[in-house]
Amino acid sequence: MSSVFGNNLKLSIFGESHSAAIGMVLSGFPAGVRIDMEKLSHFLSRRAPGKGAHTTARCEADAPKFLSGVVDNITTGSPICAIIENTNTQSKDYDNLRDVPRPGHADFTAFVKYGKAHDIRGGGHFSGRLTAPLCIAGGICLQYLEEAGIKIGAHVKEIAGVSDASFDPLTPELDKVGYDLPIPVLDTEAGERMMAEILKAKSELDSVGGIVECATTGVPAGLGEPMFDGVENRVSQIVFGIPAVKGIEFGAGFGVSSLRGSENNDAFCIRGGEAKTETNNHGGILGGITSSLPIIFRAAIKPTPSIARKQMSISLSEREEKELEIHGRHDPCIVPRAVPCMEAALAVALCDMMI
Amino acid sequence: MSSVFGNNLKLSIFGESHSAAIGMVLSGFPAGVRIDMEKLSHFLSRRAPGKGAHTTARCEADAPKFLSGVVDNITTGSPICAIIENTNTQSKDYDNLRDVPRPGHADFTAFVKYGKAHDIRGGGHFSGRLTAPLCIAGGICLQYLEEAGIKIGAHVKEIAGVSDASFDPLTPELDKVGYDLPIPVLDTEAGERMMAEILKAKSELDSVGGIVECATTGVPAGLGEPMFDGVENRVSQIVFGIPAVKGIEFGAGFGVSSLRGSENNDAFCIRGGEAKTETNNHGGILGGITSSLPIIFRAAIKPTPSIARKQMSISLSEREEKELEIHGRHDPCIVPRAVPCMEAALAVALCDMMI
Amino acid sequence: MSSVFGNNLKLSIFGESHSAAIGMVLSGFPAGVRIDMEKLSHFLSRRAPGKGAHTTARCEADAPKFLSGVVDNITTGSPICAIIENTNTQSKDYDNLRDVPRPGHADFTAFVKYGKAHDIRGGGHFSGRLTAPLCIAGGICLQYLEEAGIKIGAHVKEIAGVSDASFDPLTPELDKVGYDLPIPVLDTEAGERMMAEILKAKSELDSVGGIVECATTGVPAGLGEPMFDGVENRVSQIVFGIPAVKGIEFGAGFGVSSLRGSENNDAFCIRGGEAKTETNNHGGILGGITSSLPIIFRAAIKPTPSIARKQMSISLSEREEKELEIHGRHDPCIVPRAVPCMEAALAVALCDMMI
Amino acid sequence: MSSVFGNNLKLSIFGESHSAAIGMVLSGFPAGVRIDMEKLSHFLSRRAPGKGAHTTARCEADAPKFLSGVVDNITTGSPICAIIENTNTQSKDYDNLRDVPRPGHADFTAFVKYGKAHDIRGGGHFSGRLTAPLCIAGGICLQYLEEAGIKIGAHVKEIAGVSDASFDPLTPELDKVGYDLPIPVLDTEAGERMMAEILKAKSELDSVGGIVECATTGVPAGLGEPMFDGVENRVSQIVFGIPAVKGIEFGAGFGVSSLRGSENNDAFCIRGGEAKTETNNHGGILGGITSSLPIIFRAAIKPTPSIARKQMSISLSEREEKELEIHGRHDPCIVPRAVPCMEAALAVALCDMMI
């Protein structure tokens, strides 16, 4: 009971930061779907680190190797397994962490759960690196959805208190996001101010958090099941599988607290002969079921817990407090890299409901 | 695939607002647990409407009738079924709604999904009334958890922009909440101002939304599974099953966007010989697994969509816009009644992980 | 994790032999399906006891009461809950069984699992009576399947070594079964000999077992998933949920052990323009997926464990051997009543794969 | 929804006969378990072909490569992924089969389900080769169970009508099976007669089927859940995942049809201070729950469908009947290789219920 998501589509993710490989098995995906490998590769590169001064110095090739379920780039209907081999790993420095858990990481809770057998190197199975297999699955699902007329996009909505513009809730400008910018935003200038905050934090041996906003176009009405299998339930279940996510909100989200019913209710209307709503505070979901309006959600990403600054922790063996200094290569801000992960997570959740 | 939650504990909820009964089946609950029926009844009364001018005039007895799984108030180990009979229903006025969906409700999406067969009376299966069976399950789980030293409490954190005090993240004052107040808060004076806002909205034929905060004490470290079965994943899956929830955040939640890593990281420390953290921005969960710190989450509740004010909608049959006036008895604010629902949802999710 | 079956369709069964009611929740069933209540009632009566000297003297009305999911006999798309109230129960004589488990029953294993809290009256949740809710779910599914051109039938293939004719594997004569006979068979004369065996066993304070054969017509090719979610996997999972089943075989079944590949392989052919096979040793399933040939399976039903004869058992409290004499009303043969249960189980499993 | 088994333990199997690799992901397996790789390797070799004239001439190394979840042969608690690379594949001869399905194989049903995209080479995902990953998972689980005092063994009970001795149902002689014989049996002489039948069939360009019997020692009472998650339900779900299985029976199995209740009921008794039964017709399972008696089941394995003899089939494209001649290397009897598969399947199912 772990690391497996989905009902009709089953996504099983495996691997540790420093294991021989990380990867995913996607069972139940339709047969006969052509995967554009170049497109997939480009999508994965958006998650990969190493594109600028603000990211980790590590270089992850992240080229997926398909072991099964695909012949000549066409899915066979059988479970798709793809792996990414871990080649560039430096495992030497983890003995210290085995005893002194890093604040904000899963080191301590993994120790409680798995004991000393936990593979702590690079965070093991809890590493942000494990979002790469999620992005393989998501990248495949995104292509499937696109064939069905459904598009998904995301952007950095906020970093360190600096805000980007928001998607138009009725017609989200998915094509206006600068996906290949160091920070994918709608408003390039906002992105530059975010970058300044990131570099400032970095220079202060610190890190910053932020918010990602994700939206769709073309999702038909009627997806999702009532109560515990609604779109919000399913999407949040997978999105909290992305490390560092601490909150999720749909449509008007936490803003509903200050709205009157008369403001928050989205009046129904006819647009182009179709039943639509005049506003989209409901984020495309009513009663857990899609309304055909864009699905819109935002997720909060905490600041990278690995910071170069000295921090207080404890020695697990000696049960006493102890100072900790983390070495190694760490992003001062993982929010930009979380953008494709959100798209991937939503794509997998939607595919699961559609097939 | 719907209305069923859980892995080891399976909660299946059934019923419509105006069906013969609503109820729940809880499979996998341990044998030999004594249910204090009076305590359960008191818990359910916290969710029930009708305690003041600010709530609906409907009177729901909500006395659960146990059909199976319990003998002499002791669980047998077999599936527990409990129902609440629907007696006080007025079904006459729903013909209009069958054609003109209420803004902010599931009427439209249910029509898309189920067609005319959907039982629209009172919202059918999408009615807030369906939180009563959730509270039966939750009330039973709360008693089980309490025996294990785990307490859960919640309060209204915000209504219409008026804020209550927050729980202390390290030692949440669960016993300080005025659970039997019309609005369960920590700060009675804040509750009075919230009430004023509710009554003002009501007099203006409108409604208001808010935020509920929920916390635990006594949860041991090590609950939850990595990635998609972590505590945040599971809790959010069940919490979004409560109608009107549009967002959820754990610990520092969306606030992490403005925090530096050095601020957000919770330094480990030794307290009373136990490994703890000095702060609790992580909301008791690291890597999806409990840390032994209190679990803390907040959920956003949208304003009641049923308002007496005229609203714009459409005729589904004529596919043209049409004004709608909703009659009947509706809460101008459902946030207070969502408080025990959050406790129930968390209790079910935790029990599922513990047994 | 118990008493719940299905992926897209979730069947949750609850109740104990002497609880207030037994029943079922069927989630995920399509909206807009008209249930012919008379037909359902007739189907349930086939499972009910009390039709002859060979059955138990108990009279179970078994009239289902629908609590939700159905309005004017049409499904709403919401979970369907139906219950049967337990009225004719005699709970006095069970104190003895609480300490001295009945051979062949679940008394002992339930005691190990649930302790003294287990509701032993009438066998509790393990009672054959719990097949009544299965038959409600199955009866609904049978009607749904019939609308889709799929028929399911079953007959007693063997009792106490006396054999009925077999279904023709290519065109099973579902309409030739004497469903309303005391023993539903193809060959009435065989049924009479079976009855003689049953009555002989009864007069000797004993019971007999048998085999039920179940078949379909009209099942399209392509149902079922590979490996663990194939038709055989899913059908066997639900069929072993019927108490007293100790074996299941599909198509040629255990007979394959004596067949050569050249005999067992079903040659493909064209019949009426359709791809078919000339024989049907594969029981309509190849690689877990339906071939469009009739699904055929047989299940072995053990003799009723409750016999009037004295048996050896143990006292759980004193941990010593002790003679046991079971009082009460018990079928000397439950095989005839298992016939509709098999049809119900198959119907639920097929519906789960189709919707 | 396919190729994934388990509740607390999730086994996901992937791969096609001629894909780059086949493999498995086992999620939820406990941390800190040492895997004896040599023992695992020996277990896998029992499934591997190529040990005699009666088996396929193919040589599969089947050496598993662990990609994750294991460090220094000790499980980390994270999902375990192991693969076997496919190196010795001859893919040239499959174009014919793409149009003319092999009788007794999944070629036709896979075509219906997946269309031309199905990877038909070597049977694709439906190949018996996919039992290798099942045996990896099972081999790991067997070691885990052995640490807990539980042993599992199996032998060929019957081939082509020739019978081996049966396990003693009370004390199955697991150690007496000649596991490394060409045909693992209790009675060597019976094995020789089986071999004669196999070679005879082979010389006649044909194949034979059989029955495998599997048993345990040391399984505690109380495993399994009622109704649909009982031991029989779970074991049969996984066992039918082994290609060619057409039937399964527990304890007295289909034999119960000729037994009286007084014969079939297993009297309880005290043995060594423990509650036991004097006979074991129940196969260690009552009400779906283990009784502490040995679990005993038998599975029927159909004759290898790939035979060298000419057979009748159809052309899918031309929809007309067509003769088929299968080339390549095929076992005239796969029953001996199914023996470790049964042990593996039971081991995975038991582990899933225990952890």
pLDDT digits (tens, 9 = 90+) for D240-287: 999 999 999 999 999 999 999 999 999 999 999 999 999 999 999 999
Interface touch B104/A282, C-beta < 8 Å:
yes
Within 8 A of A71 by CB-CB distance, chain D residues are 19, 117, 119
The pLDDT, as a whole number, for residue A54 is 55
Within 8 A of C80 by CB-CB distance, chain B residues are 14
Helix (H) or strand (E) holding B61: none
Q: Give me the residue label for tokens 């209420």.
A: B102
Dist. CA B301–CA B341, nearest whole Å: 12
CA distances from D302 to C256, D114, D157, D253, D335 (A): 5, 25, 14, 18, 8
Q: Say yes or no to pLDDT of C166 above 80.
A: yes
What is the Cβ-side half-sphere exposure of residue A160, based on CA atoms within 13 angstroms?
25
CA distances from B329 to A257, B91, B243 (A): 22, 13, 17
Q: Say yes or no to pLDDT of D52 above 60.
A: no
List pLDDT tens digits, range B73-90: 999 999 999 999 998 666
Within 8 A of D269 by CB-CB distance, chain C residues are 312, 314, 321
D231: domain CATH number?
3.60.150.10
Interface touch B289/A109, C-beta < 8 Å:
yes
Number of domains in chain B: 1
What percent of chain D is modeled with pLDDT above 90?
Answer: 88
- The answer for residues whose C-beta is within 8 angstroms of residue A175's C-beta and 6 or more apart is A153
Asked whether the beta carbons of B269 and B279 are under 8 A apart, the reply is no
Within 8 A of C206 by CB-CB distance, chain D residues are 260-262
Interface touch D254/C254, C-beta < 8 Å:
yes
For an interface test with D, the pick among C13, C240, C348 (most D C-beta atoms closer than 10 Å) comes out as C240
Q: Give me the residue label for tokens 């079921």.
A: A289
| Lookup: tokens for C248 | 């299941």
For an interface test with C, the pick among D207, D234, D250, D262 (most C C-beta atoms closer than 10 Å) comes out as D262
Would you place residue C3 in the very low, low, confident or very high pLDDT band (cuts 50, 70, 90)? confident
Q: Average per-residue pLDDT in chain D?
A: 94
Average pLDDT over residues D130-157: 98
Please measure the distance between the N-terminal and C-terminal CA atoms of chain B and give it in whole angstroms: 23
pTM listed for this prediction? 0.96
3-state secondary structure chain D: CCCEECCCCEEEEECCCCCCEEEEEEECCCCCCECCHHHHHHHHHHHCCCCCCCCCCCCCCCCCEEEECEECCEECCCCEEEEEECCCCCCHHHHHHHHCCCCCCCHHHHHHHHHHHCCCHHHHHHCHHHHHHHHHHHHHHHHHHHHCCCEEEEEEEEECCEECCCCCCCCCCHHHCCCCCCCCCCCHHHHHHHHHHHHHHHHCCCCECEEEEEEEECCCCCCCCCHHHCHHHHHHHHHCCCCCEEEEEECCHHHHHHCEHHHHCCCEEEECCEEEECCCCCCCEECCEECCCCCEEEEEECCCCCCCCCEEEEECCCCEEEEECCCCCCCCCCHHHHHHHHHHHHHHHHHHHHC
Average pLDDT over residues B203-217: 98
CB atoms within 10 A of CB C92: 7
Within 8 A of C25 by CB-CB distance, chain B residues are 12, 14, 25
| Lookup: tokens for D177 | 């099976």
3-state secondary structure of B57: coil
Would you place residue C205 in the very low, low, confident or very high pLDDT band (cuts 50, 70, 90)? very high
For an interface test with A, the pick among B131, B159, B197, B254 (most A C-beta atoms closer than 10 Å) comes out as B254
| Of the partner residues A25, A67, A71, the one whose CB lies closest to the CB of residue D119 | A71
The pLDDT, as a whole number, for residue B91 is 59
List pLDDT tens digits, range C25-39: 999 999 999 999 999
Average pLDDT over residues B205-229: 97
CA of B72 vs chain A CAs: smallest distance (Å): 31
List pLDDT tens digits, range D183-196: 999 999 999 999 99
How buried is B92 (Cβ within 10 angstroms: 0-12 exposed, 13-18 middle, 19+ buried)? exposed
- The answer for residues whose C-beta is within 8 angstroms of residue C41's C-beta and 6 or more apart is C63, C64
How buried is D88 (Cβ within 10 angstroms: 0-12 exposed, 13-18 middle, 19+ buried)? exposed
Interface touch B81/C15, C-beta < 8 Å:
yes
How buried is B320 (Cβ within 10 angstroms: 0-12 exposed, 13-18 middle, 19+ buried)? exposed
Dist. CA B21–CA A181, nearest whole Å: 56
Chains near A (3 or more Cβ pairs under 8 Å):
B, C, D
Average pLDDT over residues A227-236: 97
The pLDDT, as a whole number, for residue D327 is 85
The pLDDT, as a whole number, for residue A93 is 62
The pLDDT, as a whole number, for residue B58 is 46
Sign of the Cα pseudo-torsion (C222, C223, C227, C233, in order):
negative
List pLDDT tens digits, range B273-319: 999 999 999 999 999 999 999 999 999 999 999 999 999 999 999 99
Biggest distance spanned by C-alpha atoms of chain B:
70
Average pLDDT over residues D16-23: 96
Average pLDDT over residues B168-179: 98
The pLDDT, as a whole number, for residue B55 is 54
Interface touch B25/C27, C-beta < 8 Å:
no
Dist. CA D157–CA D187, nearest whole Å: 10
What percent of chain D is modeled with pLDDT above 70?
Answer: 94
List pLDDT tens digits, range C306-326: 999 999 999 999 999 999 999
Q: Which long-range contacts (CB under 8 A, 24 or more apart) does D61-64 make?
A: D61/D87, D62/D132, D64/D23, D64/D40, D64/D136
Would you place residue B54 in the very low, low, confident or very high pLDDT band (cuts 50, 70, 90)? low
Measured in residues, chain D has a length of 355
User: C144-153, D136-145, D320-329: lowest mean pLDDT where?
Assistant: D320-329
How buried is C51 (Cβ within 10 angstroms: 0-12 exposed, 13-18 middle, 19+ buried)? middle
Measured in residues, chain B has a length of 355
- From the list B113, B133, B115, the residue with the least C-alpha distance to B16 is B133
The pLDDT, as a whole number, for residue C92 is 65
The pLDDT, as a whole number, for residue C60 is 47
CB atoms within 10 A of CB A220: 13
DSSP state of B208: B
CA distances from B26 to B30, B80, C24, C75 (A): 10, 5, 12, 23
The pLDDT, as a whole number, for residue D41 is 96
Asked whether the beta carbons of D19 and A69 are under 8 A apart, the reply is yes
Dist. CA B236–CA B181, nearest whole Å: 27
The pLDDT, as a whole number, for residue D58 is 46
Dist. CA D139–CA D42, nearest whole Å: 9
Q: Say yes or no to pLDDT of A26 above 60.
A: yes
Q: Say yes or no to pLDDT of C244 above 50.
A: yes
Asked whether the beta carbons of D337 and D207 are under 8 A apart, the reply is no
For chains B and D, CB pairs below 8 A equal 8
Range of the domain at B86: 4-354
Dist. CA B17–CA B88, nearest whole Å: 10
Measured in residues, chain C has a length of 355
For an interface test with D, the pick among C265, C301, C353 (most D C-beta atoms closer than 10 Å) comes out as C265
Measured CA angle at D265 (ends D263, D266), to 5 deg: 110
3-state secondary structure chain C: CCCEECCCCEEEEECCCCCCEEEEEEECCCCCCECCHHHHHHHHHHHCCCCCCCCCCCCCCCCCEEEECEECCEECCCCEEEEEECCCCCCHHHHHHHHCCCCCCCHHHHHHHHHHHCCCHHHHHHCHHHHHHHHHHHHHHHHHHHHCCCEEEEEEEEECCEECCCCCCCCCCHHHCCCCCCCCCCCHHHHHHHHHHHHHHHHCCCCECEEEEEEEECCCCCCCCCHHHCHHHHHHHHHCCCCCEEEEEECCHHHHHHCEHHHHCCCEEEECCEEEECCCCCCCEECCEECCCCCEEEEEECCCCCCCCCEEEEECCCCEEEEECCCCCCCCCCHHHHHHHHHHHHHHHHHHHHC
Q: Average per-residue pLDDT in chain A?
A: 94
List pLDDT tens digits, range C167-179: 999 999 999 999 9
- How much is the ipTM here? 0.96
